[in-house]
Structure 1
Amino acid sequence: MAKLTVKDLDLKGKKVLVRVDFNVPLKDGVITNDNRITAALPTIQYILEQGGRAILFSHLGRVKEEADKAGKSLAPVAKALGEKLGKEVVFPGATRGADLENAISALNDGDILLVENTRFEDVDGKKESKNDAELGKYWAGLGDDIFVNDAFGTAHRTHASNVGISSNVSQAAAGFLLENEIAYIQEAVEKPVRPFVAILGGSKVSDKIGVIENLLAKADKVIIGGGMTYTFYKAQGIEIGNSLVEEDKLDLAKALMEKAGDKLILPVDSKEANAFADYTDVKDTEGEAVDAGYLGLDIGPKSIAKFVKDLEGAKTVVWNGPMGVFENPDFQAGTIGVMDAIVAQPGVKSIIGGGDSAAAAINLGRAEKFSWISTGGGASMELLEGKELPGLTALTEK
């Protein structure tokens, strides 16, 4: 990539500002999934090994008013990070002020400090989320004119803690995680080893219009699954029972199919149930049509077999969105079948674009079989759409 990376910087003795993504799930103050902390470790450890003094920024959840702060402190994250690093993580519990500034001044080479949840600054005028100029300048002034952005999950946002800081330092560089995310996702789409197959699932066509259009222009095949299947079905006049449908997107679905021709591949059957929850009957459809009183909740066995064949020989596969309601064992066969087919291709570069797809791979025990699993759902989607990411654009050119 043409941007500065952390390896281009002289870090020894410097106060290095670092944007990480520690937006982890918490339950009763306990972190239930620490993957994002683990993903940030290589960059943090490198800075510390080079003699830098790491000052970390992250948000946690959404904070709009004072009451929203409850349970959103990064204190549990500081503790968990310290355990992973085997050293103390200084946590002043502030986003600005004397306590924070004094704690930073007391840091020695190789020390690490975590600033309190950046979204706490949103309580009074959305200063973080609206990239308040004063806040970005203040945070930038806490370091030694060096900023490392390693938070891919927020790279599609223009916030004070990424773009704001970048705008006020002379050296703004990518960390290892951000660098890898760009390399895997962007390069897979722009310079794929062919055949290149894209697989898109999830519930709504509207969520993925830009992605579908961009990938139809770039990929050799685009496979569709998940709830959005039924909008495409209804656009063709196929019966969909009580399945999810976006009535206002039928014309769009029809236009996409006409434009794509054979490149757009749809399921040929479904696993249907007579209710989303508390159902009493689950069965496979004979073909595409869903029975009256039923709704499709996964692709069926014929579709799995078809998609396995469509994936044969693929050298680059980008997957975003499950094939069904994978959280329910009755409707996870499609997602499992597609995952297993992807990783079975010899020499395939297999990339999961974050979100529910990443959760499916992790929860269903397939994560380690993929080449790359993105840490950012929204940012991944925008890269797949071909959009520029503000957090990346704001970094310094080499």
Structure 2
Amino acid sequence: MSWKTLDAFDLAGKRVLTRVDINVPMSDGKVTDATRIERIVPTVKEITAKGGRVVLLAHFGRPKGENVPELSLAQLVPALSEHFGQPVQFTHDDTYAVVLEQTKALKDGDILLVENTRFYPGETANDPEFAEKMAAFGDIYCNDAFSAAHRAHASTEGVARHLPSCAGRLMQAELEALENALSKPQHPVVALVGGAKVSTKLDLLGNLIPKVDQIIIGGGMANTFLAAQGINVGKSLCEHDLLDTARKIIAKAKAGNCELVLPVDVVTSLEFKAGATATTCAADACPADQMILDAGPQSVARIKAVLDAAKTLVWNGPLGAFEIPPFNAATDAAALHAAALSKAGRLLSVAGGGDTVAALNSSGAADDFSYISTAGGAFLEWLEGKTLPGVAALVAAKS
């Protein structure tokens, strides 16, 4: 671990400039999913309990450097106050000097929310002057927004250049989970990679092959790998222009002693809709007029056997069109099996990505996974082996 945590600082009497991700869905002025708020509660409460003064930085939506009233963070104050168990102050004034004075007037244990950072062009441009001015709002910088760490913005990267910096508890948990899963994992390591298209997962597969022992490939992208081996996939979603690329990935995996686990049987249908008639057949026997929409029971049995022998699992993407029954069967079965192994202490399971979180929640397996990241793009970029500016800034800040 080359970055500091909250444990490294005496927070009493200090303004802790805390970058969070509270970009939550809303309807009629109400938060409809408070997961991201719930996950920052431990960091905020720890800072206030230790006598720190919390100054929250966050973005909301894409205002593109303009003051867009409907994207004001003011509407989140009631939800934040409820989850933190105390009143949250808000900077209604847009004048820098006034906001600065508000931060200086805070008392130990207070919480102040600063307006949407993306109302200002200097945020997404990572303008050095803007970052320096923002840094004056705090004495210590705490980044608790791993989900925004792949953005080199003023509030995620620039501010860390000016203040003693650390990771918040959510950021710490994300980084430790990912390091345990990929940087220093227990082998055998299995990656389950699903989703619609190979084209969106090329960097991910390229980075995983040297690091893992097996890659289970599912979803629409599995069809491209089947087709690359000369198998007719009927009317299935398939990137026929990437067959050569798929063959290169197969060759790279073989050379790297990484086994690619593809479906051996599949579930097909004439149409993609709820309650559609589904047929199970061998992976190489898809009818010409049908489409592959899920992995079959023999494939699920193979996946379960792979998971039984594994010590570490990294999961990104579903095995089939899980949104519509009965094409959720393989994803649900594999997820519940991984969850049971994790609960029994036999498997470290780390999952992330939008569709992945939705699929695991739908299956009922989410609660028993070792760690589920809600970070989306940042989670995927980490798996791709890319440097995340927000994390790199914390590493640099330590030295």
- After TM superposition, is the score higher than 0.5? yes
Which blocks of at least 5 consecutive residues in structure 1 are unaligned? none
User: 5 Å matches for 1:75-94?
Assistant: 75-93=74-92
3-state DSSP class of the match of 1:218? coil
CA distance in 2, matches of 1:291, 1:359: 30
Deviation at 1:50, TM superposition (A): 1.1
Quote the sequence identity (%). 45
- Read off the aligned partner of 2:319 and give its amino acid letter: M
CA distance in 1, matches of 2:307, 2:149: 31
Determine if contact 1:55/1:113 at 8 Å carries over to the other structure. yes
1:119 aligned residue: 118
2:372 aligned residue: 373
Give yes or no for the alignment of 1:178 onto 2:168: no
User: 5 Å matches for 1:225-236?
Assistant: 225-236=218-229
Q: 1:239 to 1:97 in 2, by over 3 A?
A: same
Give yes or no for the alignment of 1:296 onto 2:295: no
Segment drifting more, 272-281 vs 158-167: 272-281
Determine if contact 2:60/2:72 at 8 Å carries over to the other structure. yes
1:42 aligned residue: 42
Segment drifting more, 46-55 vs 382-391: 382-391
User: 5 Å matches for 1:232-381?
Assistant: 232-261=225-254, 263-277=259-273, 280-345=276-341, 346=344, 347-381=346-380
CA distance in 2, matches of 1:71, 1:272: 45
Deviation at 1:198, TM superposition (A): 0.9
Segment drifting more, 258-267 vs 133-142: 258-267
Q: 1:74 to 1:290 in 2, by over 3 A?
A: farther
**TM-score relative to the length of structure 2:** 0.92
CA distance in 2, matches of 1:135, 1:35: 30
CA distance in 2, matches of 1:238, 1:83: 56
CA distance in 2, matches of 1:253, 1:159: 35
2:60 aligned residue: 60
CA distance in 1, matches of 2:259, 2:309: 16
Q: 1:93 to 1:336 in 2, by over 3 A?
A: farther
Can you list the C-alpha shifts for 1:314-358, whole angstroms capped at 9, x where unaligned?
Answer: 111111111122222322111111112212335211111232212
Segment drifting more, 172-181 vs 382-391: 382-391
CA distance in 1, matches of 2:71, 2:266: 41
User: 5 Å matches for 1:73-222?
Assistant: 73-93=72-92, 97-121=96-120, 126-144=121-139, 146-169=140-163, 171-222=164-215
3-state DSSP class of the match of 2:308? coil
Structure 1 runs of 4+ aligned residues shifted over 6 Å read: none
Determine if contact 1:95/1:117 at 8 Å carries over to the other structure. no
Segment drifting more, 155-164 vs 303-312: 303-312
Can you list the C-alpha shifts for 1:30-61, whole angstroms capped at 9, x where unaligned?
Answer: 21111111111111111111111100111122
Deviation at 1:279, TM superposition (A): 7.8
CA distance in 1, matches of 2:94, 2:152: 18
- Read off the aligned partner of 1:397 and give its amino acid letter: K
Q: 1:217 to 1:307 in 2, by over 3 A?
A: same
Segment drifting more, 334-343 vs 101-110: 101-110
Equivalent pairs, count: 391
Which blocks of at least 5 consecutive residues in structure 2 are unaligned? none
CA distance in 1, matches of 2:282, 2:49: 61
Determine if contact 2:179/2:185 at 8 Å carries over to the other structure. no
Can you list the C-alpha shifts for 1:140-188, whole angstroms capped at 9, x where unaligned?
Answer: 11222x100010001111001111111222x011111111111111231
Segment drifting more, 256-265 vs 46-55: 256-265
Q: 1:305 to 1:33 in 2, by over 3 A?
A: same
**TM-score relative to the length of structure 1:** 0.93
Determine if contact 2:225/2:246 at 8 Å carries over to the other structure. yes
Q: 1:248 to 1:61 in 2, by over 3 A?
A: farther
* CA RMSD between the two structures: 2.0
- Read off the aligned partner of 1:150 and give its amino acid letter: D
